[in-house]
Amino acid sequence: MRKIYSLLFILLLSIFVVAGCGAADKKEVKGNDKTAKTEQAENGAFPVTIQDAADKEVVIEEKPEKIVSLMPSNTEIAFALGLGGKIVGVTDNDNYPEEVKEKEKVGGMEFNIEKIISLKPDLVLGFGGQAMGSSADGLQQLRDAGITVLVVNDATSFADVYKAINMVGTATGTKEEAETIVADMKAKVDEIKEKAAGIKEEDKKQVYIEVSPDPLYAAGTSTFMNEMLDIIHAENVVKEEGWPSIDQEAIIAANPDVILTTYGFYIEDPVGMVTGREGWQNLDAVKNKHIVDVDSDTVTRSGPRLVEGVEEVAKAVYPEIFK
């Protein structure tokens, strides 16, 4: 079943806040009204108005006390903001932090609308991107039931993640906490970049990242993992965008120095899956035994732990530098 979720995740992946609403005078000009709303949100006051990823103007009247999260990344952001006690519902796919196991489950990508309504949340954190297409009707039913829904952007870059964290922070009255988390993440990324700056161009590693062994899928450009390779001064041998299906011959021809896999959570021997393939024995990564399985969640989930993913990838690709 986890393999199915992994493949679904790959397909879905292939595929700020305008803040603060005060009791503005109706006679006030639009420009001044917008300024007042923005200043109010920046001060952490309620109500706040946010333009969400569904391009809807979401008004949050009071600080939310009961929150349902419909995406593991949103859940991780909420917990990092200190909102764990306010989370009353999460998806079947949530697995971090440990406390989510005790939360009510509201389904997967096809969430249980009746269950969510029964939990009486003040705020539902939805998800954007192409995945939103299949959930748009359900989210509208929640709105029609009088529940405030905030669609958080489908992040495909670190900048998007920072934006998502700040959006959730603004919506939940934890703006300062969000800003601190983002600042810490940026500082850690800068530290990693500084370490990688000394890598000479001729020593730059060629890396192949495999996210599914059967069928073969890889991390291409416009993905977190590709950005991680850029951060640590490594080169992705896959040049297609997103999470493309892969022809083995193309990887054999590319002859990567390093192979990273991300499916050790459901495959017992991911390294053996790679080394046992016909024609792969002569790859430099195989001959030099430079094949490493990295944690899928930390390298692909658009939350605060993404920095841990960069660190893990850095140690896997350049162990002599990132000890």
Q: Could you tell me the pTM of the whole model?
A: 0.84
Domain carrying residue 68:
54-185
Same domain? For 205 and 311 the reply is yes
β-pair type (87-90, 104-105): parallel
Question: Is residue 43 situated within a structural domain?
Answer: no
Same domain? For 179 and 230 the reply is no
Same domain? For 179 and 248 the reply is no
Residues 295, 309: Cα–Cα separation, whole Å: 7
Length of the chain: 323
pLDDT at residue 35, rounded to an integer: 44
pLDDT at residue 129, rounded to an integer: 64
Same domain? For 176 and 222 the reply is no
Residues 184, 221: Cα–Cα separation, whole Å: 25
pLDDT tens digits for 11-34? Answer: 444 433 333 333 333 333 344 454
CA distances from 279 to 106, 240, 252, 260, 293 (A): 45, 23, 7, 18, 21
Residue 50 has φ and ψ, to the nearest 5°, of: -125, 135
**What six digits make up the tokens of 203?**
């020593």
pLDDT at residue 43, rounded to an integer: 52
Residue stretches of the chain with pLDDT short of 70: 1-44, 129-134
The domain that holds 115 is classified in CATH as: 3.40.50.1980
Residues 148, 146: Cα–Cα separation, whole Å: 7
pLDDT tens digits for 43-58? Answer: 568 999 999 999 999 9
CB 224 within 8 A of CB 157: yes
Beta-carbon contacts of residue 173 (< 8 Å; ≥ 6 apart): 44, 46, 63, 64
In terms of DSSP H, where are the helices of 132-269?
A: 136-144, 158-172, 175-196, 224-231, 248-254
Domain count of the fold of the chain? 2
